[in-house]
Amino acid sequence: MRRVLRTGPVRVCVAFAALLACAACGSGSGADLAIDAIDVPAGDEGVAPDDAPTDVPTDVPPDVPPDVGGASCVGVAGTAAWPTDVSTTFLRGPFLQDVRDGHAVVVFRTALPVADEGCLTWGVAGSPAGEPSRTCVVPDTFGQYEIRIDALPPDAEITYTASVGATLTAGPFTFRSAPAPDRPQRILVVSDLHATKANTAAILSKIVSAALADGVDFALTAGDHVGQPTDAQFDDLFDGLRPLLHRVPMFTTIGNHEILSPTYFEAFVLPQADPPDPGAPELYYSFRRGNAWIGVLDITDWQLSWGFGEPTGQVLWLANELDSEAARSARWRLLVIHEPPWGRNWAPCNQDNPHYGEPALRDLLVPMARDKGVSAIFSGDFHDYEHGTMDGVELFVLGGAGGGLENVECPLPEGLPTPWKSVEAHHRLTVETGCDALSVVATGIDGAEIDRVSVPFVGR
């Protein structure tokens, strides 16, 4: 049985306003649509009606300008190895969020809420001598401080210290501001951390240490950071990520284990879609860092669009985003979504109700990615490493950062792209958006290389 979380009335009403005139959403029937977790057989998930059309349009409008990606690319990905020292002054943080477009957000939280202001003191390496900048804010109701700094020069070394009152201080730490649009990036990509103290000690700590040694520029997740979206489990997550997030920003993707949970949105500071999702503005989004454009997605609208045969909000939004100048001028376009289009089946190989990934993504997302120049889709959900190519789009399943592993001996389903590689191991991905190629390396927590994929840049 697979745990599936249903979305609430607000998002369903908005998504289908044009289709269903969702007047019932505001009535007593809304109880049937309230956010709830129910057990359903794995094979029942994502089954569209037999007569449901699936021809959601993905064609590029005729007035979209041609691609301009790859006009310029200079430099190499990554930095020198990061330091590994940590501060445990705060329950969470200080950690970096949303470092892009000349700004950065630093977040930290005390163990118990206090009335004192929290302050960030920072300076830019190489700037004229003078007093460092300082910004102070009051905490939110959870005792968390979020401080944004702006007007940062590209690819600059920023040193910062976080403090609360006269006695709590963490730092100094150093990070780098977002690079110029023509710079390659080295990215840590992980999924299904399912953070607990045990998983953090045995698995996540090794991934973090390796990422620091690799000098990654930023981190991406593909969902399921925790098993249950409680404050305690998020505390375990941030404790395990502490050495990395002092220095490296993380952009996250929502998974089925935290779907629409307030604790997820309180924990992270993320970009917002334009226009934002009416139910959760940070649910899906896109951003540009260096020479890569990245779209971060949620599964719901893809399943709804597939089942009803009409594109809903996120599907239309992504099509437009992929036609934007930010995407078209990027050398690489990447997508991240928790559920994968394809996978080998759930352990322990349930043949009565098998689950081989999301048909909605195979029918809608992959063709859109193919038509609009996406090089790779990164997913989690299945707790192993898997890779194959569909319609020229590289598909990676990377759910090996903490959860219990799947049985990769399950029989392969019909229609699975071939060749299809699957390995039962906890792991991380290191992705480099190079000038000549997109490089993806899967590495086990023992340091052994699991797989290496290189996608040459051939122009747009």
pLDDT at position 55: 52
The radius of gyration computed from the CA coordinates of the chain, to the nearest angstrom, equals 22
- Mean pLDDT of all residues in 303-330: 95
Interval 18-36 mean pLDDT: 30
65 pLDDT band, cuts 50/70/90, is: low
For 4-13, 274-283, 403-412, 444-453, which range has the lowest pLDDT when averaged over its residues? 4-13
φ/ψ (deg, to 5) at 389: -125, 130
Is it the case that residue 170 has pLDDT exceeding 90?
A: yes
Q: Residue ranges of the alpha helices (H) in 159-245?
A: 197-199, 205-214, 231-245
CATH 2.60.40.10 fits 92-176, yes or no: yes
Residue with tokens 């609208």: 301
pLDDT of 300 above 80? yes
- State what percent of residues in the chain have pLDDT above 90: 73
Give me the pLDDT at residue 349, please: 77
pLDDT at position 428 is 98
Q: What is the pLDDT of residues 171-184, one digit of tens each?
A: 999 999 999 999 99
Residue 79: burial class (beta carbons within 10 Å; 0-12, 13-18, 19+): middle
pLDDT for the residue 86: 97
Distances, alpha carbon 73 to alpha carbons 55, 77, 376, in Å: 37, 11, 19
Paired strand residues for 70: none
Is a pLDDT exceeding 90 seen at residue 220? Answer: yes
300-308 and 313-322 helices, crossing angle to 10°: 110
What mean pLDDT is predicted for residues 212-230?
96
Instruction: Look at 187 and 5; give whichever has higher pLDDT.
Output: 187
**pLDDT band at 149, cuts 50/70/90?**
very high
Which pLDDT score, from 0 to 100, does residue 71 have? 60
Q: Is 114 helix (H, G, I), strand (E, B) or coil?
A: coil
* Residue 33: per-residue pLDDT: 25
What pLDDT band is residue 200 in, cutting at 50, 70 and 90? very high
Q: What does the pLDDT look like over 83-94, one tens digit per residue? A: 999 999 999 999
Share of the chain above pLDDT 70, in %: 83
Average pLDDT over residues 357-377: 97
Residues forming a β-bridge with 434: none
CATH 2.60.40.10 segments of the chain: 92-176
Mean residue pLDDT of the chain comes to 85
Confidence (pTM): 0.86
Q: What is the pLDDT of residue 144?
A: 95
Report whether pLDDT(357) > 90: yes
Residue partners of 40: CB distance under 8 A and separation at least 6: 1, 2, 4
Tokens, residue 358: 């999301």
Distance (Å, whole) CA 383 – CA 380: 7
pLDDT for 1 = 26
> Is the Cβ–Cβ distance between 326 and 427 less than 8 Å?
no
- Please tell me whether residue 32 adopts helix, strand or coil conformation: helix
The CATH 3.60.21.10 domain(s) of the chain lie at 186-456
**Mean pLDDT across the stretch 261-281?**
92
| 131 — pLDDT class (breaks 50, 70, 90) | confident
Mean pLDDT of the 266-293 span: 94
Architecture of domain 186-456: 4-Layer Sandwich (3.60)
Number of Cβ within 10 Å of residue 277's Cβ equals: 22
CB 203 within 8 A of CB 192: no
Residue 69 has pLDDT above 60, yes or no: no
Averaged pLDDT for residues 281-310: 95
Sequence-separated (6 or more) residues with CB below 8 Å from residue 459: 69, 70
Structure tokens at 109: 């939280």
pLDDT reading at 129 higher than 90: no
